[in-house]
Amino acid sequence: MSPGTLYLVATPIGNLEDISLRALRILKEVDLVAAEDTRHSRKLFNHYGIATPLTSCFEHNEARKGERIVEVLRQGRSVALISDAGTPAISDPGYLVVCRCRDEGLPVAAVPGPSAVITALAISGLPTARFAFEGFVPAKTSARRTLFAAARNERERTLIYYEAPHRLLAALTDLREELGGERRVAVARELTKLHEELFRGTVEEALAYFGVGRVRGEIVLLVAPAAGEPERESLEEAVARWQAAPEGSRKEMVKILAKRFGVPGSEVYRLSLELGRGREEGQADDSHH
């Protein structure tokens, strides 16, 4: 008998219309749905007329419930795993169950859909080419400060965090302390819901904006990379520049550039010979014209 499949089904993060046709079909066809909060998921089920049996699978019972889910799958029955909102296993229950299924060789399939991380990044107006999701911001100030301090010299990636509305001002205050008031941020609130809002500006401006009244709703906090320094030259460019206008002997160049770029001196020396040969050949070609 073939085992059943565990489906990770993404569900709406706010607007109930943000669910795929495939997700609706899978939720109706599986034998069991494991939900983070069955009361919460019942609203979605009622809205779309889904009658599949529900069982709970949340942070504190996930390891134990994983045993039952694996047993159901072994019996050839299929299970859908959903969280309260978005994609299961991404800052939501699911990771332990997926690991267990993978270890047991049981099939796991994703039914992709909403994710607050990607949704917030897409509309933020901050750089999207590279990013890192850092999960929930710690509740304790010291841990929060340590987390933000690590972002001080991040120059390539937009960093994305989840934050509770009642702690947003504290988080922004710590961001100002660690990264300065001019660092650019975006705050996405109530994504896809009636009162969706996207703030974009500096940390200082965000503090002024959100400091006026009580902050409500689900929050995604995005921190832009630090303002770029002038483009650093590559090792090859540095060697070429030195050879064009020597500031000392080749031995001194090798020593200085090896230290600056953190590479072996032999690599700098080899590159200098290659570039030197290239220049000589270029000059020889020019002399024939």
> Does residue 286 carry a pLDDT above 70?
no
Residue 36 is predicted with a pLDDT of: 92
Percent of the chain with pLDDT strictly greater than 70: 94
Query: What is the C-alpha separation between 240 and 125, in angstroms, rounded?
Result: 38
Residue 162 is predicted with a pLDDT of: 97
Query: What is the C-alpha separation between 136 and 230, in angstroms, rounded?
Result: 33
> Does residue 127 carry a pLDDT above 80?
yes
Residue 285 is predicted with a pLDDT of: 54
Residue 278 is predicted with a pLDDT of: 60
Domains 6-114 and 117-223 share a fold: no
> Does residue 283 carry a pLDDT above 60?
no
pLDDT in tens, 70-122: 999 999 999 999 999 999 999 888 999 999 999 999 999 999 999 999 999 99
DSSP at 31: S
Residue 241 is predicted with a pLDDT of: 86
> Does residue 52 carry a pLDDT above 90?
yes
Better-predicted residue by pLDDT, 261 or 84: 84
Residue 242 is predicted with a pLDDT of: 86
> Does residue 287 carry a pLDDT above 70?
no
Lowest mean pLDDT among 52-56, 87-91, 170-174, 271-275: 271-275
Please tell us whether the domain made up of 117-223 is placed in CATH 3.40.50.2000.
Answer: no
Residue 279 is predicted with a pLDDT of: 57
User: What does the pLDDT average to over 242-249?
Assistant: 82
Q: Which CATH number fits domain 6-114: 3.30.460.80, 3.20.20.70, 3.40.1010.10, 3.40.50.2000?
A: 3.40.1010.10
Q: What is the mean pLDDT of the chain?
A: 91
Query: What is the C-alpha separation between 81 and 109, in angstroms, rounded?
Result: 10
Query: What is the C-alpha separation between 92 and 133, in angstroms, rounded?
Result: 13
Query: What is the C-alpha separation between 216 and 193, in angstroms, rounded?
Result: 12
The structure tokens listed for 173 are: 């205050």
Determine the 3-state secondary structure of 190 from DSSP. coil
Residue 184 is predicted with a pLDDT of: 97
Residue 177 host element (H or E): helix 168-179
Instruction: Please report which confidence band the pLDDT of residue 230 belongs to, taking 50, 70 and 90 as the band edges.
Output: very low
Query: What is the C-alpha separation between 243 and 250, in angstroms, rounded?
Result: 9
Percent of the chain with pLDDT strictly greater than 90: 72
User: What does the pLDDT average to over 225-239?
Assistant: 75
Residue 99 is predicted with a pLDDT of: 94
Query: What is the C-alpha separation between 58 and 147, in angstroms, rounded?
Result: 26
Question: What residues does each domain of the chain span?
Answer: 6-114, 117-223, 235-288
User: What does the pLDDT average to over 202-224?
Assistant: 96
